[in-house]
């Protein structure tokens, strides 16, 4: 897995984001937007995954669109991210867009390494995921969720459940005492990924220490 690093090596705050090629094309704008919203210095580590549907899915699931099933390789991806975070004096936030946002939420159930989760338009339609959330306790203090206001109008019947799922997820987290925000953005799933992800990271970075 290739890792692209941005910002100061000495920063005490580190943002961790699984990305694909499209994310890398717009990540400098995302970083600039975060710098414009927060005062603290940070470093961003972008982990380029080789197989999006495999490397970010928490368990195997049948294809929802196209023919490519979800492989359930998230555990290996999380192991690589954890190995990157050897300096435990730093504060780590994990986040991402779409399936990477789902991965970020799942990762915070697996480890207490992360102070917050920045999940922009996360794929919470993923089969069985909100059931998983309801049966487990997340291990971080702050979670930001967002969705485009047209995403639940998708023609795909599974993906169209995402609005109900994100509302359910926010309710579950708040019910467990987690500091959780849910923000609605204009547009469908493919609009303003850099802007939405920047807003997500900016929110969790700005939360007071627990």
Residue 69 has pLDDT above 90, yes or no: no
Rounded Cα distance between 66 and 146, Å, is: 25
d(CA 55, CA 166) in angstroms, rounded, equals: 22
Average pLDDT over every residue of 5-26: 96
* Helical spans, DSSP H, in 38-161: 52-55, 74-84, 99-110, 129-134
Q: How far apart are CA 152 and CA 121, in angstroms?
A: 11
Q: Where are the domains of the chain?
A: 2-205
In the predicted model, what is the mean pLDDT of residues 117-134?
A: 96
pLDDT at 64 over 90: no
pLDDT of 210: 62
pLDDT value at 18 more than 80:
yes
Terminal Cα-to-Cα distance of the chain (whole angstroms): 33
* Mean pLDDT, range 127-153, rounded to an integer: 94
Contacts for 165-172: CB closer than 8 Å, 24+ residues apart: 165/124, 165/125, 165/129, 165/130, 166/122, 166/124, 168/130, 169/105, 169/124, 169/130, 169/133, 169/145, 170/145, 172/130, 172/133, 172/134
Q: What is the pLDDT of residue 149?
A: 87
Closest CA to 96 of 186, 16, 190: 16
Angle between helix axes 99-110 and 74-84 (nearest 10 degrees) is 70
pTM metric for this prediction: 0.96
Identify the CA nearest to 121 among candidates 86, 91, 146, 90.
146
How confident is the model over 83-103, as pLDDT tens digits? 999 999 999 999 999 999 999
Number of other CB atoms surrounding residue 184 within 10 Å: 12
Domain 2-205 fold is: Rossmann fold (3.40.50)
Helix (H) or strand (E) segment spanning residue 166: helix 162-175
Pick 153 or 42 by higher pLDDT: 42
pLDDT at 63: 80
């Amino acid at each position: 897995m290739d890792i692209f690093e941005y910002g100061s090596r000495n920063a005490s705050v580190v943002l961790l984001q699984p990305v694909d090629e499209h994310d890398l094309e717009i990540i400098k704008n995302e970083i600039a937007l975060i710098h414009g919203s927060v005062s603290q210095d940070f470093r961003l580590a972008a982990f380029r995954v080789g197989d999006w549907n495999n490397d970010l899915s928490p368990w195997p699931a049948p294809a929802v669109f196209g023919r490519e099933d979800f492989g359930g390789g998230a555990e290996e991806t999380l192991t690589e991210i954890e190995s990157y975070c050897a300096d435990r004096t730093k504060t780590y936030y994990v986040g991402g867009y779409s399936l990477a946002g789902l991965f970020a939420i799942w990762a915070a159930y697996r480890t207490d390494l992360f102070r917050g989760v920045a999940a922009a338009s996360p794929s919470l339609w993923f089969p069985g995921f909100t059931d998983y959330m309801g049966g487990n306790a997340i291990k971080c203090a702050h979670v930001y969720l967002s969705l485009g206001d047209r995403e639940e109008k998708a023609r795909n019947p599974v993906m169209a459940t995402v609005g109900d799922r994100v509302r359910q997820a926010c309710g579950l987290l708040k019910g467990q005492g987690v500091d959780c925000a849910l923000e609605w953005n204009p547009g469908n799933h493919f609009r303003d990924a850099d802007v939405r992800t920047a807003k997500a990271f900016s929110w969790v970075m700005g939360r007071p220490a627990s």
